[in-house]
C-alpha cells in the first residue's frame, strides 16, 4: 500500500507540466497601470533616461525618487486583474514560474508563489552603494536624505538602464526547462529580458498573448491576439484541451 502511494505521488510529480510565463507591462494594463511604449504610455510622458537610468539617478535623483514615489502611490490604488488571477490558478495543476519585467506586485497579490522580478520591485528600497540589503516599504515615499543606519542614501529597488540584471541567469534556467512558455504583455524591446525566449527547448509550446504584433523570431509561436484577460481565458482553453 505504501509503495502504491509512492508510485502515485511520483507519477503526479512527473506528470506536472512546467509553465513559465514571461510578463510585461501589458498584463497590468487592464488593472489601470500604463504601459511604457504604447501610445499614451509612460515613455511619452517622461524621458526614460531621466527617470529609469543609472545616469539619470546620478544627474537628478530627486526626479527619480518622485517618479517612483508616484508609481508606488498609484500601485496602492489598483488591483490584480483576471489575467494575474488565472496565472495564479495555473499552479493548481502545473509547475508554474512567473518571470516578470514588471515592478508592480500584482502577480503576488493575485496569489502566484514563484515570481522572479527581473527589473526589481516598487515596494522595496536598497542603499545606493548596493551592499545587498533590501527593505520593504510598501507604498511609502522615500526622499533624498533618507538613509540606512550607516548613513547611506536609500534608492528604489529597481534595475535601471545601464545596470546589471542580477536575476537573468536564474530566469534563463527556468525558461530552458519549460514545457510551455507563455509570453504576455511585453513588446520585447528591452534586453536581456527579451532574449530569454530563445532559451526555450526546441519542443516547448510557445504562446504569445498581446493585442498587437510583437517581434518574436521563433517559428512555432501561437499568437493569441487579445488583451491579457480574454487572452488568458483562451490560453487556458487551449492548453487544457
Question: Exposure string (b/e) for 70-80, b if CB count within 10 Å is 16 or more?
Answer: ebbeebeeeeb
By the rule CB under 6 A, 214 interacts with ligand OAD = yes
Of 19, 20, 21, 29, the one binding ligand OAD (CB under 6 A) is: 29
List, in sequence order, the alpha helices (H) in 31-118: 42-45, 48-51, 54-59, 61-75, 82-89, 106-110
Helix (H, G, I), strand (E, B) or coil at 153: strand
Q: Identify which range of 27-35, 89-97, 174-182, 198-206 contacts ligand OAD by CB under 6 A.
A: 27-35
By the rule CB under 6 A, 211 interacts with ligand OAD = yes
Q: Which of 14, 16, 25 is nearest to 239 (CA)?
A: 16
Site for ligand OAD in 120-149 (CB under 6 A): none
Contact 58, 5 (CB under 8 A): no
Q: Residue 63 or 148: which CB sits closer to ligand OAD?
A: 63
Q: How far is residue 230's CA from residue 91's CA, in Å, rounded to a whole number?
A: 19
By the rule CB under 6 A, 205 interacts with ligand OAD = no
By the rule CB under 6 A, 101 interacts with ligand OAD = yes
Q: How far is residue 217's CA from residue 234's CA, in Å, rounded to a whole number?
A: 22
Cβ 44 to ligand OAD shortest distance, Å: 11
Q: Residue 135 or 161: which CB sits closer to ligand OAD?
A: 161
Binding mask 162-191 for ligand OAD (x = CB under 6 A): -----------------------xxx-xx-
Q: Which of 165, 171, 161, 125 is nearest to 146 (CA)?
A: 125
Of 68, 110, 227, 232, the one binding ligand OAD (CB under 6 A) is: 227
Give me 30's grid cell: 487592464
What sign results for the dihedral spanned by CA atoms 83, 228, 241, 112? Answer: negative
Work out the number of other CB atoms within 10 angstroms of the CB of residue 179.
17
By the rule CB under 6 A, 104 interacts with ligand OAD = no
Binding mask 41-60 for ligand OAD (x = CB under 6 A): x------x---x--------
Of 36, 68, 207, 235, the one binding ligand OAD (CB under 6 A) is: 36
By the rule CB under 6 A, 228 interacts with ligand OAD = yes
How many residues are recorded in the chain? 241
Q: Distance from CA of residue 232 to its chain's centroid?
A: 16
119 assigned to active site: yes
Contacts of 16 (CB under 8 A, 6+ apart): 93, 94, 95
By the rule CB under 6 A, 212 interacts with ligand OAD = yes
Q: Which residues are catalytic?
A: 119
Interacting residues toward ligand OAD by CB under 6 A? 24-26, 29-30, 35-38, 41, 48, 52, 101, 119, 159-161, 185-187, 189-190, 210-212, 214, 227-228
Amino acid at each position: 500500500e505504501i509503495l502504491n502511494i509512492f508510485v502515485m505521488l511520483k507519477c503526479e510529480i512527473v506528470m506536472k507540466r512546467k509553465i513559465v510565463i514571461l510578463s510585461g507591462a501589458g498584463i497590468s494594463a487592464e488593472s489601470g497601470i500604463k504601459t511604457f511604449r504604447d501610445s499614451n504610455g509612460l515613455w511619452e510622458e517622461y524621458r526614460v533616461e531621466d527617470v529609469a537610468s543609472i545616469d539619470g539617478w546620478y544627474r537628478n535623483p530627486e526626479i527619480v525618487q518622485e517618479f517612483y514615489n508616484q508609481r508606488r502611490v498609484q500601485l496602492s490604488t489598483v488591483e490584480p486583474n483576471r489575467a494575474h488571477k488565472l496565472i495564479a490558478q495555473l499552479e493548481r495543476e502545473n509547475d508554474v514560474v512567473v518571470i516578470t519585467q514588471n515592478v508592480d506586485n500584482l502577480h503576488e497579490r493575485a496569489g502566484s508563489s514563484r515570481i522572479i522580478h527581473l527589473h526589481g520591485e516598487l515596494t522595496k528600497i536598497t542603499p545606493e552603494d548596493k551592499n545587498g540589503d533590501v527593505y520593504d516599504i510598501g507604498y511609502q515615499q522615500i526622499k533624498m536624505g533618507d538613509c540606512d543606519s550607516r548613513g547611506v542614501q536609500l534608492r528604489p529597488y529597481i534595475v535601471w538602464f545601464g545596470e546589471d540584471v542580477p536575476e537573468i541567469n536564474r530566469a534563463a534556467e527556468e525558461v530552458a526547462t519549460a514545457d510551455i512558455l507563455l509570453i504576455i504583455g511585453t513588446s520585447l524591446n528591452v534586453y536581456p529580458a527579451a532574449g530569454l525566449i530563445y532559451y526555450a527547448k526546441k519542443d516547448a509550446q510557445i504562446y504569445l498573448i498581446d493585442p498587437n504584433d510583437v517581434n518574436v523570431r521563433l517559428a512555432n509561436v501561437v499568437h493569441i491576439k487579445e488583451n491579457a484577460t480574454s487572452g488568458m481565458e483562451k490560453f487556458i482553453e487551449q492548453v487544457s484541451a
